[in-house]
Structure 1
């Protein structure tokens, strides 16, 4: 099977098993790539995998797979317990990601939680760099996902990725997951003429070429610079359809999978979002 130039897929539910449930839903909505949780996204439990399910997902080489780490992870936390749990959780996601053949593990960039920024970033250097060194050559990349700008977030604008890459010594297993809703909420006006080009140009200037590994394609319920992380279906929010076409056109996104995390629990809205993105992609 010939892979599309930008596989378009979705975060999929895994009830019934990663492969059984996830791939079935992916087929229903026309997804060409999938993102999954391998643990409770709002908990610290580290479940074991099911070898047969893992192998079934790993063997589907025509479907790029990504893992999203749980939301509680915060490498910048002043709490020793939260830091220890965060490191253990991401190690688990990386190990499970390798078992299912994932290309990347997405992790939120975290918050200083009231402590000085430099202290949080020093902690990231001390603890996350060794974690990166543990990833085998054939293991998934660790993909940093900037946030929407709320609270004491360590990274929201794409330029904020610079200190992360510097402190993590531009490790070869380090990449970026670019979330369109987060970027818009943080103040990158993707809906403005030239906004997508300006933003992705800044991303490349900050972290270098080839570091963008995944796009979370989400419209936004709220206006630019709202600092509100509320996703909307493609074309139904404040970003609109045309900027997603601009994303497909940008050289930094060449070959990069697009994953939707849009509202809706039934297949129909997700299938529609994927169809919309494919239409925009195929017109390029």
Structure 2
């Protein structure tokens, strides 16, 4: 029997990771949650609240952490690299404390330097962090970007040199954002395109897909613009998500929305994905 993909979303944690996060998860009917453990647009690192940590950890709902948007492990700036490494280390520690399944990190930009130099910096700063992850800790999930600027990883083939720089470390997983992939040129609006994309991902990184950011795209294929849209209302369309969940590479992989709006709009996106997941496959 094919494993069932849990479906949820990034939750608001005002009031605390558990107090706010679990309340919002219940409101939107999430089966899995993603949270920030720091200000997503800053460098400040903070310790958790032990009581909130325990409540979220003991809730039984699977948890993923997203690192700060400031993180860039491809930066030519030594100060940014050091801050990025510290931020990822902190998120991995907090992930261990929360019993999280994974910590998502954007794969970064080379900015003004050659890609080869950026990959050397990536190896120097990220590989030691992977070695530090305890056996009970979360995997580090690499999220390719939409292709804007001098991004190190956007299209699926970009993952090969990226993972090679990390010696294909066993704790390096993948978070596939459907909007990013579509913007980078993968035509997820068709069944053939979804299949080709996931086949290519599996060929490069078999078994490493650990999370899907399920987002429709506001802009057309290949736009290199990272603008999410609600499920079925963008250029990808709802059928793509049903095809994705039926693909062997995504079997049992959780889906987490990061779509516009909040509350009722997020619940609608999640319920739509659940209907697509639970509907019989064509020809069944």
TM-score bucket of the superposed structures, by smaller chain: over 0.9
Partner of 2:38: 39
- In 2: Cα distance, 1:101 partner to 1:18 partner: 13
Instruction: Give the 5 Å matches for 1:1-284.
Output: 5-61=4-60, 63-207=61-205, 209-265=206-262, 267-284=263-280
Question: How many residues are treated as equivalent by the alignment?
Answer: 278
The secondary structure found in structure 1 opposite 2:253 is coil
- In 2: Cα distance, 1:268 partner to 1:126 partner: 44
The answer (yes or no) to whether the contact 2:107–2:144 under 8 Å persists in 1 is yes
Task: Report Cα offsets for 1:189-211 as digits up to 9, x if no partner.
Answer: 0012411000000001111x210
Distance apart, 1:186 and its partner CA: 0.3
Are the structure 2 counterparts of residues 268 and 278 from structure 1 closer, same or farther at C-alpha, using a change threshold of 3 Å? same
Task: Report Cα offsets for 1:47-91 as digits up to 9, x if no partner.
Answer: 110000001111122x11000000010011011110000000000
- In 1: Cα distance, 2:157 partner to 2:102 partner: 21
- In 2: Cα distance, 1:116 partner to 1:144 partner: 20
Runs (4 or more) in structure 1 with deviation over 6 Å come to: none
Task: Report Cα offsets for 1:114-171 as digits up to 9, x if no partner.
Answer: 1011000011111211110000011000000000000000000011011111111111
Task: Report Cα offsets for 1:182-240 as digits up to 9, x if no partner.
Answer: 00000000012411000000001111x21000000000000000000000000000000
The answer (yes or no) to whether the contact 2:191–2:243 under 8 Å persists in 1 is no
The secondary structure found in structure 1 opposite 2:265 is helix
- In 1: Cα distance, 2:18 partner to 2:156 partner: 33
The secondary structure found in structure 1 opposite 2:134 is coil
- In 1: Cα distance, 2:96 partner to 2:279 partner: 34
The answer (yes or no) to whether the contact 2:152–2:162 under 8 Å persists in 1 is no
- In 1: Cα distance, 2:124 partner to 2:25 partner: 39
So what's the TM-score if we normalise by structure 2? Answer: 0.97
- In 2: Cα distance, 1:45 partner to 1:259 partner: 25
So what's the TM-score if we normalise by structure 1? Answer: 0.97
Unaligned runs of 5+ in 1: none
- In 1: Cα distance, 2:66 partner to 2:210 partner: 13
Unaligned runs of 5+ in 2: none
